[in-house]
Amino acid sequence: MNFETTWIFIALALSHNFPALATKTEVDALPALATKTEVDALLHSGWWLDSDMSLNVSHCMWLGVSCDDSESIIKINMPDRGPHDYMVTRNLNNMNFSLLPNLASLRLPNNHLTDIIPLHICALQKLRHLNLSHNYLTEVGELKSLTHLDLSLNNLCGQIPHELGSLVLLTYLNLQNNSLQGTVLEFQMLLKLNYINLAYNHLTGNIPNSLAHVRYGFFQGNEGLKEIELSKRMSRKLMTVALTPTMSRELMTMVIPPMAITFIFNLILCSCCILRHRMTSKQLETVEKNGDFLSIWNYDGRIAYEDIINATEGFDIKYCIGTGGYGSVYKAQLPNKKIVALKKLHRFEAEDPSFDHSFRNEVKHLTEVRHRSIIKLHGFCLHRQCMFLVYEYMERGSLFCALRDDVEAVELNWRKRLNIVWDMAHALSYLHHNCTKSIVHRDISSNNILLDNKFQAFLSDFGMSLLTLWLLMRNAMYIALEW
């Protein structure tokens, strides 16, 4: 065997054992093999209909899928409540995300996802954007390398997951409308975080100084959370400017004087507000001693009793849109153009202790629960001369009325009716299992299921609801969760 033949055999052996030295045809086949693996992951997930998986259509053209130039999947963005919602079942565990190494964005809002975020999602090295809002997730998992995380309107409970404090690249964090408890994390390692929303949870304690620059509106709805004093909030902003490495002396000269003036002005304004608040508190104490209570608000806290009276012209009959067993419902447009529904207790029923108890019971429970399928209470007035509740307005009224109307009954097809059943099932599950103290509604009927303009269902009328703990103490026998 000559020298040239020996080198040919060595080259063939190396090309067989080392892919880096393989033939050009084999190298060109590697991207195609990787793409096929990703397509197999989509096919086995069961997330798409057969019509979306036609061999004549590239997987990059499937609903919600985006690819790069090599047809590798980089984004999955499934729409909210589309026609696929009840024809396919999307379960996070059905998708093998480990076969999607280039996935950078995953958006699955309102897809009825439950339980915990799987580990194979947390292990994705290139995943930067994760939106799983409007679902029923209960745990977060070991997430890594994210810049955008939206888990709002889920069933997260317990303390804020400490794993979030290690997401050093995070710039956006939305955890509003969950059931999180305990104190707020410092988030000292999240130096790039410029948006955080923790509103409408059950958080307590003080807002950390590291979040003093965040607008207080992003913490509202947490009754046990104490607001940071304005002076500390402003000093935090000044420290942020002073510690910026790229800030030049000239820019500091331009920025600090206006901020100092603003600080002094806000300090004076805050002192006036505190003085006014103390005077108002004294008035409220006097009112409460007489057995009356008034608390009317909305998202900006500016609804007043006078606005309600003016909007209905003193509850004129022309604004009445319905009458129930112990009250009438009025439609009113407030000065901020927001339309609300008012349930007013009749004066005769207000003198009946049972009706009064039912009315106060509804206030108690609706101010404690927060769920997307439970009617939102904007405010209430409990006064011996005038008792009413301020609700979010539902354009289509009750399910009972929709089913009785021939036109709306046709429009309310089976898919929409299934949506209603789904919404009510999750609302009841939330009341029974996710509230601090389980609540039994006791009056589920088509009259108490309200529909908005998109036929989304909302559970209402908590006048007969009771805490299960109280029920069990009162009755030794077995009590079903709903009757």
Annotated catalytic residues are 443
Amino acid at 16: H
At 365, is the secondary structure helix, strand, or coil? helix
Please state, in angstroms and rounded to a whole number, the distance separating the CA atoms of residues 359 and 167: 46
Please state, in angstroms and rounded to a whole number, the distance separating the CA atoms of residues 120 and 351: 60
Please state, in angstroms and rounded to a whole number, the distance separating the CA atoms of residues 363 and 379: 9
- Give the DSSP letter string of 84-150: TTTTS---GGGS-GGG-TT--EEE-TTS--EEE--HHHHT-SS--EEE--SSEEEE-----S-SEEE
Contact at 8 Å (CB) between 173 and 151? no
Residue 304: which of 379, 368, 362 has the closest Cα?
379
| Assigned token pair, 155 | 């069933």
Chain length of the chain: 483
Contact at 8 Å (CB) between 151 and 178? yes
Long-range Cβ contacts of 235-241 (<8 Å, 24+ apart): 236/209, 236/212, 237/212, 237/213, 238/263, 240/213
CA dihedral 118, 219, 382, 391 (to 10 degrees): -60
Question: Cα separations (Å) of 357 from 156, 361, 382, 462?
Answer: 32, 6, 11, 11
End-to-end CA distance of the chain: give it in Å, rounded: 93
Question: Cα separations (Å) of 457 from 342, 367, 450?
Answer: 19, 19, 6
- Give the DSSP letter string of 55-77: TTS-GGGSTTEEE-TT--EEEEE
Please state, in angstroms and rounded to a whole number, the distance separating the CA atoms of residues 28 and 35: 12
At 301, is the secondary structure helix, strand, or coil? coil
Q: At what angle do helices 230-242 and 249-289 cross, to 10 degrees?
A: 160
Residue 100: which of 69, 75, 61, 73 has the closest Cα?
73
CA dihedral 238, 242, 243, 245 (to 10 degrees): 140
